[in-house]
Structure 1
Amino acid sequence: MELINGQKITLGTCYYPEHWDKNLWREDLERMKECGIEVVRIAEFAWSKIEPREGEFTYEFFNKFLDLAYEMNVKVIFCTPTATPPAWLTEKYPETLNAAIDGTLYRHGGRRHYNYNSPKYRELAKRIVEKSASHYGPHPAIIGWQIDNEINCEKSEFYSESDTAAFRIWLREKYNTLDTLNEAWGTVFWNQTYTDWSQIYVPRPTPSSSNNPHQVLDYTRFISDSACRFAALQSSVIRKYKKPEDFITTNGIFSNLDNHRMREESLDFITYDSYPNFAYCRDRFDQKEDSLRDRMWSRNLMEVRSISSNFGIMEQQSGANGWNTGMAAPTPKPGQMTLWTMQSIAHGADYISYFRWRTCTVGTEIYWHGLLDYSGRDNRRIAELKEIHKKTQCLSELAGSVYKAEAAVIRDYDNIWDSQLDTWHNAVEWQSQLSIFRAAQKTHTPLDYVYLRETTTIEQLQKYKVLFYPHPVLMSPERASLLEQYTAQGGTLIIGCRSAYKDMNGRCTTDCLPGLLKPLTGTDIPEYTLVSPEDTPPLINWDGQLLEAAVFNDQLTPALPNAQVLALYENCYYEGTPALIKNTIQKGTVYHYGAAFTEQAAEVFLEKLDLKTPYEAHFTLPPQCEIAPRTKDGTTYYFILNYSNTPAVICLPHQKKDLFTQTYAQGTITLPPYGVKVYQ
């Protein structure tokens, strides 16, 4: 069975047979099937059930569960258990443990305490994967494999001695000589020059609390490479033993990891763990009126969709969030589980697996509720799940369809990682990322992410009429050339402040800004400034519309004949200086905007470029609703999602098919709180 097969929307759940008496297994599987669940994920934290002591392997426990699942026609995703190495392993081999930046080891007792750069851990991880895959791989109940669990979750930094040893090897392969490394890292600053490879470590505590930024950027690339190689190690083993039709995936998208590379090298598709209820955690709740709260998870799903256009949700919110420390969120209200399920499907998910079936009665996650509470009795969420199943059966025809957007935001890992360590970069980056997303959501403008990578082609960019690349601080000649090709062939590119002032090592250019992008933007930047907190924010006057010039301001000057000034700064010492310049390159256009993007500024760009509210001829929607279109074979399916706890009134000027009722609708429709409609 192919899970993402373009034929149907499939439901599943996460199950932990090791947590429950074997006498419950059959009852649980029967009840799952009654709810429409066809697939269970198992074993991601169960190393000791297969290797209870070093070199001693036993398969009886999962043999019994898999045989029962097969008998009952429940399909299984089997996981490699490497996210939680057993006590015998970490006690005997402490070199397999990860460490804090000061060298303190993270000990057994939680999860993700391992270090994937430890040769011993890689050896033992490969062995448990080999033993699991060779034994269970042929089992007819298994349809796919999950590698590890949430790679780089909790800890995405690794500071053990094994990491330093591996980092030195990685650097030698990249730079070949110390002279080349010293030049790239600018080690002449603060007398950091290295004369022997043994002098180089992963970042360590320093008095200034600031490591060499070029070293840290390379260290982050090294962590990503290590994670990708760890996934590839497991994937290569599984592929030797799995049935040809079985898939390989992993779950989550986490920091310091090139998820696109990992998917290309090791996975058939990505799966994501979607917990919109995080928006309502007691320690995270945002009281701001403009907060999109659980609707922000659509931005996360955009990230997932950039990796796999059709994907799975391995863990979908079904109950209250909570660990015994650090997290506490309420039970989803009636309709929210349906809303969040349809949010995932709207953005490209063809498989939805709920976390979890039964709520655990022991351990850290005793407050992380599943579909069933501690007693296991039927409840409101089970009833809602049955209704969700009925709805997904009505959506089978849209399986394999893809999300449709004419605008996208460009991202790239180098700039993401640079913004993590560079305060100036971070300030503009997240201001703009969130503003563009919010503006698109509130104007009902579908939006994609597209990642700029070594393998990115001009065809991938040409799918979009307009590309926002808010703050490409790090820039290479190859990327500048690709952007120029996109523009020359008719694309529209929007660039924000603080662009192209660093090379790919994070060194600031001595060229006039915006460096490598100057031929593209047609601009020069004689001066720039952080917006002072003591000043009234500067304004940008664009055709009489006043936009706040947020965070940082580039004072622009036209530098090429086709460059045209569109807007000027006001109420600041550089009043009258250009703040927005439009440059024409053959068939296309580049806009250089001198500030970070506010929500208002992003909306003005969407409006002026005819992107705003592209489906207003089909639907009239209030701001509380999201529209998400998926297309297949010339047919468009529209998801309308109401994120509010109050009814939403929508209008359909023209007749459309309601897929849930299989009837035709037109005119005024009232969506209940958290209600969803899907129209063809």
Structure 2
Amino acid sequence: MKYEIMSLINRALPLFFALVFFALALPGVAADPWLTELYDRLHDSPVQRAFREKAPMPFGVVFLPWAGITEPEIRAQFRTMKRLGFHNLKQVQGSPEWPDARLMEIALEEDIIPFWYGKAGEEPVTPQLLARLGISPGSPQYEAKLWAHQKEVLRRQIPAVAASQNILHGEFPGFRHTPDPFLPKEDVALFQQWLRRNYKSADHLAQAWNEYEIGIDPKPFRTWEDADRAVADLASQANSLRGYGGEYSRVRDVLRFKAETHAAEIRAGSERFHQQFPLVPTRTGGEMGLFLPFAWRATQMEALADTQTNTGSFYPSIHFAWHFGEVNYEVTRPIYMQASFANDLFKGGWSATWESTGGPQQLTGAKGWDAREQASTPGFSVNEGTMTQLLLSYLAAGFKGAGLWTWNSREAGWEGGEYALLNRQREPSPRAIRAGQIAQAADRYRQELWKAHKEPLVGVLLNWDNDAMWAAVSLRGRDHFRDYPMQARVGVSRALIDANIPFEYVTVTDLEKGLGPRYKVICLPAAISLSDHVLGLLTAFATQGGRVVADSPAGDYDEHGKVLKTGAGSAFERLFGTELRDLQYSNNIPRTLHGQKLNGFISDLHVTSAKIQSAFQTGEPAVTENRIGKGSSVLLAWDASFAVFRPGNLALQAELIRNMLGTLESPYACLEVPVYRLAAPEADHYFLLNDGPARSVRLNSKAMRYKAAVDVVTGKNVLLGGPIALEANSGRWLRFAK
């Protein structure tokens, strides 16, 4: 009886604490329904507040000196940049004739800030600074004297920027991060220490590593010395069917240890650099496409973003040939998905793509991680329309700036003739002109954009532990399982984008900090692993009026890779009002839904308190809905998100959206093309993306009323409620004044 009581208490605790988190967030919901104040506090720091005060919006380019270039030619290039609207460099790459430092000095002399962060590196303008300079706002010499001072401030940063290229200095001797799920022998001692910090006893670790279950180990370890021997053995196991990866929890721990230690390295290096150069922002994120299986690569992007809270900016590198192979070289929608993924991991912090594509590419880029990519050409056209889609998607996702690789192309070797804004005659191409126009528009509205936020209807849950479980399964299972959660996220994101549903990626950490009520719906794509803690957070969200939606194979495992308890009385059943009896697959026994054949995971469901909303042709439940507190929960018994990873399955997309939203609807509609919206106090910014022929569309703002509308890039007025002309394969940015 005592054990049963304690078991009940332990099961109830996650829900209790989750209700406390949500209760703390609720008082401000009515006045601030999207919890923007909490959102801005999630990565708050003096540095991030300084960024918001300065409101930098740098659109920089990479300048590559060619052999034989003269100083007058260099200056002419910088003047052309400035004329087109580029006021900073993303970076320079020195040549045998022109060192980096000299190129940066010339740029400053031409009033081009030679750093990716633009005006963010300037000294804050305070009354004390103005008194020291002997100027006041509005005086005839104010701008000139202030800029002359800031140029000297920036000039002194040239050595610092060079030093930032080598920011890590071995914070953890013996640690060697490798982007994979294996434990290098060099990491054994540090991993042993990590386990002692994260588990209260060796027996606790043995329980978590499922040592008492059949087929794991002959004898569970009892002491830390036993555990140390098991860890040493892990590092020597072969990557084979009988080797590494037979038990999932220890693989997850190896991945988490490597990811956390790598992030700690970056944090320590960034903060040490910041102490030495307090005006120079740091950055991390970098040369990793955002469709990679991060958990499998022992990388936690949310943790990397958090390392920049006190020092700088989080960013991805976004290049078509490098980073779009995982989505079959699709462009328009995946741009926004990648940008939102990065922005939403650093809520309240400064994010941007500090390296983005400048021009066409076909011959270079990564060979990819599978045979299909290695045997295909990563070919892309980049014209002014493509550039519009890139930059508008970045802004719509919440980015404040961009770095464009490159201004001019390399003249020989790898990437020769590719990636550049200029054409091969080093003349401004239409894409360069368009990029400059967008950069100027973003600079004009930079203060407003820094105050703008998404107003999401749906939160798509990012749960790193779930991705890590897929990674663990892929070791002895199929390699493609490591990519499965990413592909499911792409699928649900596609369905939301095509239905004009505003959404945001939300993490477990965000929910723990009370952000749940920001969303009407939280969607769990491919949640193969669910802990009682996460289920408690979701139950609290639903109880307070939210809607939780999960698809197959949700709830297969717990966070330790043990078969999740999904029967009557379990946390899973209490949330969904449904028992998961088995996982099946639509293959030898096909399932159809409303005449649509399915090809993937099938959850064998038995309802308790839930109601069956739809059934497969076999009579098995396809959709169940449970009323819980003020809200609801929905289980989709097929792999609804993964099924629409590739474009074209509009019927299944519509089925997913219909069951996800229930009676909810988007606050705006333009079903012909994807539309994204940012809300600022004075105006809403709409970004319309057209991936087809030129067309005319109408934007229905429904209950939202506006005074006037303008094309932000051209400055031309737009008739409210009237037709909106869109170029082929391009986009348009409209500002609607409130």
TM-score (norm 2): 0.70
Contact 1:565–1:578 under 8 Å retained in 2: yes
1:555 maps to 2:604: yes
Structure 1 SS opposite 2:549: strand
1:350 Cα offset (Å): 1.6
**Cα gap change, 1:476/1:158 in structure 2, threshold over 3 Å: closer, same or farther?**
closer
1:120-144 residue CA offsets vs partner (Å, 9 max, x unmatched):
xxxxxxxxxxxxxxxx998256998
Q: Distance in 1 between matches of 2:411 and 2:181?
A: 31
**Cα gap change, 1:295/1:528 in structure 2, threshold over 3 Å: closer, same or farther?**
closer
Q: Distance in 1 between matches of 2:66 and 2:265?
A: 26
1:418 maps to 2:477: no
1:382 Cα offset (Å): 3.1
1:12 Cα offset (Å): 0.7
Aligned to 2:364: 323
Q: Distance in 1 between matches of 2:490 and 2:192?
A: 37
1:355 Cα offset (Å): 0.8
Aligned to 1:217: 252
1:439 maps to 2:439: no
Contact 1:16–1:42 under 8 Å retained in 2: no
Q: Distance in 2 between matches of 1:578 and 1:324?
A: 45
Structure 2 SS opposite 1:266: coil
Aligned to 1:64: 102
**Cα gap change, 1:207/1:444 in structure 2, threshold over 3 Å: closer, same or farther?**
closer
Aligned to 1:163: 187
1:172-220 residue CA offsets vs partner (Å, 9 max, x unmatched):
4434665544443335626476742533317643354752333322221
**Cα gap change, 1:419/1:137 in structure 2, threshold over 3 Å: closer, same or farther?**
farther
Structure 2 SS opposite 1:269: strand
How many equivalent pairs are there? 586
**Cα gap change, 1:375/1:163 in structure 2, threshold over 3 Å: closer, same or farther?**
farther
Instruction: Return the match for 1:313 from 353, 376, 384.
Output: 353
1:277 Cα offset (Å): 5.9
TM-score (norm 1): 0.75
**Cα gap change, 1:605/1:530 in structure 2, threshold over 3 Å: closer, same or farther?**
closer
Contact 1:539–1:569 under 8 Å retained in 2: yes
Contact 1:203–1:216 under 8 Å retained in 2: no
Gaps of 5+ in 2: 1-46, 118-152, 169-175, 368-376, 645-650, 702-707
**Cα gap change, 1:16/1:550 in structure 2, threshold over 3 Å: closer, same or farther?**
same
- Supply the AA of the counterpart residue of 2:628: I
Instruction: Return the match for 2:676 from 621, 628, 645.
Output: 628
1:28-75 residue CA offsets vs partner (Å, 9 max, x unmatched):
4333222222222337x99x99xxxxxxxxxx9555344334333322
1:347-391 residue CA offsets vs partner (Å, 9 max, x unmatched):
111202111223223554335422235653444443333433444
Q: Which has the higher strand share?
A: 1
**Cα gap change, 1:636/1:27 in structure 2, threshold over 3 Å: closer, same or farther?**
same
1:580 Cα offset (Å): 2.1
1:139 maps to 2:190: no
1:499 maps to 2:554: yes
1:292-342 residue CA offsets vs partner (Å, 9 max, x unmatched):
543222111221121234521211211123428736423413421122111
- Supply the AA of the counterpart residue of 1:314: W
Percent identity, aligned pairs only, is 16
1:359 maps to 2:397: no
Aligned to 1:568: 615
1:18 Cα offset (Å): 11
Structure 1 SS opposite 2:581: strand
1:650 maps to 2:694: no
Bigger relative contact order, structure 1 or 2, given CA contacts below 8 A and separation 6+?
2
Structure 2 SS opposite 1:335: helix
Q: Which has the higher helix share?
A: 2
Structure 2 SS opposite 1:505: coil
Structure 1 SS opposite 2:59: strand
Instruction: Return the match for 1:594 from 620, 630, 637.
Output: 637
1:446-478 residue CA offsets vs partner (Å, 9 max, x unmatched):
22111113x633631111111111333322232
Instruction: Return the match for 2:621 from 578, 595, 612.
Output: 578
1:584 Cα offset (Å): 1.2
Q: Distance in 1 between matches of 2:485 and 2:569?
A: 17
**Cα gap change, 1:177/1:28 in structure 2, threshold over 3 Å: closer, same or farther?**
farther
- Supply the AA of the counterpart residue of 2:273: I
1:242 maps to 2:242: no
Aligned to 1:275: 319
Aligned to 2:40: none
**Cα gap change, 1:261/1:280 in structure 2, threshold over 3 Å: closer, same or farther?**
closer
Q: Distance in 1 between matches of 2:360 and 2:177?
A: 20
Contact 1:323–1:367 under 8 Å retained in 2: no
1:166 Cα offset (Å): 3.5
- Supply the AA of the counterpart residue of 1:323: T
1:604 maps to 2:694: no
Contact 1:149–1:250 under 8 Å retained in 2: no
Aligned to 1:55: none
1:563-597 residue CA offsets vs partner (Å, 9 max, x unmatched):
22222221xxxx32333221111111111222211
1:481 maps to 2:536: yes
CA RMSD of aligned residues (A): 3.9
Aligned to 2:265: 230
Aligned to 2:86: 37
**Cα gap change, 1:251/1:143 in structure 2, threshold over 3 Å: closer, same or farther?**
farther
Contact 2:408–2:423 under 8 Å retained in 1: yes
Gaps of 5+ in 1: 50-59, 80-135, 287-291
